[in-house]
Amino acid sequence: MAKTNIYLTFNGNAEEAFNFYKSVFGGEFPMIQRFKEVPEKDREMGKMKDEEGEKLIHVSLLISKETSLMASDSPESMGKVKFGNNFSIYVEAQSKEEAEKIFMGLSAGGKIKMPLADTFWGACYGMLEDKFGIGWMVGYTYPKK
């Protein structure tokens, strides 16, 4: 069975927000990654400004045994986020096949924003907006070798 988490998007203050959430919930960040850490071959050329390198491409905070709060900053090239488009539901599948099934099901009648594909961080991942306008992120993290 897949696991779901809420994924928030910020206008450059994700790190500040997550330090605040950490002060409330406690715990540690299992992952914190900045845009400058993205391998050059995986960047969309010319779309990210140098000063955006310190912004967060991903952060997660374990807030219970089963639930993580996750987030990223939105690069300027993707536009400002506002209430209503600043969150997605993240589904962590138990297999690549399950991720494909969920992704295809949710995308029916909707818009694929990032096709489901293997990524540099060791996951099969994709983004979509369903036919009701809800943002979804679907992924399967490959076991570490």
Q: How do 135-141 and 123-129 pair as beta strands?
A: antiparallel
Each residue's pLDDT tens digit, 14-37 = 999 989 889 877 888 999 999 888
Number of domains the chain contains: 1
pLDDT band at 45 (very low <50, low <70, confident <90, very high): very low
Burial class (CB in 10 A: 0-12, 13-18, 19+), 70: buried
**pLDDT, position 48:** 66
Residues listed for the chain:
145
Amino acid at 98: E
Tens digits of residue pLDDT in 68-86: 899 999 887 777 887 777 7
Task: Read off the CATH number of the domain in which 105 is found.
Answer: 3.10.180.10
**Parent domain of 46:** 3-141
d(Cα 42, Cα 45) in Å, to the nearest integer? 9
| Structural contact between residues 3 and 91, judged by C-beta atoms closer than 8 angstroms | yes
User: What mean pLDDT is reported for the chain?
Assistant: 86
pLDDT, mean of residues 1-7: 83
d(CA 96, CA 20): 34
Report, in angstroms and rounded to the nearest whole number, the Rg of the chain calculated over CA atoms.
15
Find the DSSP H helices in 12-134: 14-25, 96-107
